[in-house]
Amino acid sequence: MDSWQEAWHVRINHFPPQIGFARPNDTLAVSLTGSHCALNCAHCGGHYLNGMVAIEDADATGMTSCLISGGCDQRGRVPVTSHTALVMALRPGRILNWHVGFVDEDEMRAIAPCVDIISFDFIGDNETIREVYGLDHTVDDYTCTYAMLRRHATVIPHLTLGLRGGQFCGEYRALHTLKALGLDALVVLVFIPTPGTRYAHCQPPPLAEVADFLLAARCALPDTPIYLGCMRPGGRYRRDLDPLAVWAGVNKIVNPAPSAVRLATELGLFIKWESECCVIQRP
């Protein structure tokens, strides 16, 4: 049995014949820091904060959920307690998904009443942490923070493949560390070369490497939902990647390419369309 057959066998034996396709139009992305971030990371440079609404201007009317995020300080921490009253005003009737960075346990306790889910970026290579984020943290720090957060909320780890300028560095270590620690779901992202950043000249990781990782993740985590998240290259890359992800046995794809939707239909999978962040599960 080759790796594709093995992954598909795992998928059909551990999950119903259904796939989620999400267009997160009903989740409002909110930044606690506006467009400011102290890190100027090599892959982002604060670019993606510009697509969020500043907490002071957030109006979640008509939205069913919010992503509470923002830039980090020089220690990699999102100032999660900086606008507690404004965040609480967004909470009634909505699910709140947080990006928190390296918060400490006291901060986590303080925001726990308005946390439903935490999305936590997990890194498996010390050099990548230093080069991309400019932080002195180690993989052990990520491991300890992840374990602490799980004591207070549902935590969905995110792995960005090729984060170090398109190179795989520590992704498999991260996968096996998370398997040992335990996880409720895994979100897989793919490095995007972003104009104006230090990695703007780089290329995304080869499709074959990404596909191999998805296959390995499916087999390593037979009972764990795996999602292909929104942060991945578009255009031809996405058109080619998304069907591979379906074949590899992922459970959900955000903003799927039409080619993936067609393949899912051909494979007889029931398609469940969703309208929120992929980590949000509703009946």
pLDDT digits (tens, 9 = 90+) for 257-277: 999 999 999 999 999 999 999
For residues 66-70, give the mean pLDDT.
96
pLDDT on residue 15: 98
User: What is the reported pLDDT for 33?
Assistant: 95
Q: What percent of the chain has pLDDT over 70?
A: 100
pLDDT at 245: 98
pLDDT-based confidence at residue 45 (cuts at 50, 70, 90): confident
> Mean pLDDT throughout 233-247?
98
Whole-model pTM: value is: 0.96
Which domains occur in the chain, in start order?
3-274 (3.20.20.70)
CB atoms inside a 10 Å sphere around CB 94 = 18
Q: What is the pLDDT of residue 46?
A: 80
Tell whether the model's pLDDT for residue 1 goes beyond 70: no
Residue 205 has pLDDT above 80, yes or no: yes
pLDDT band at 40 (very low <50, low <70, confident <90, very high): confident
Please state, rounded to an integer, the average pLDDT across all residues of the chain. 96
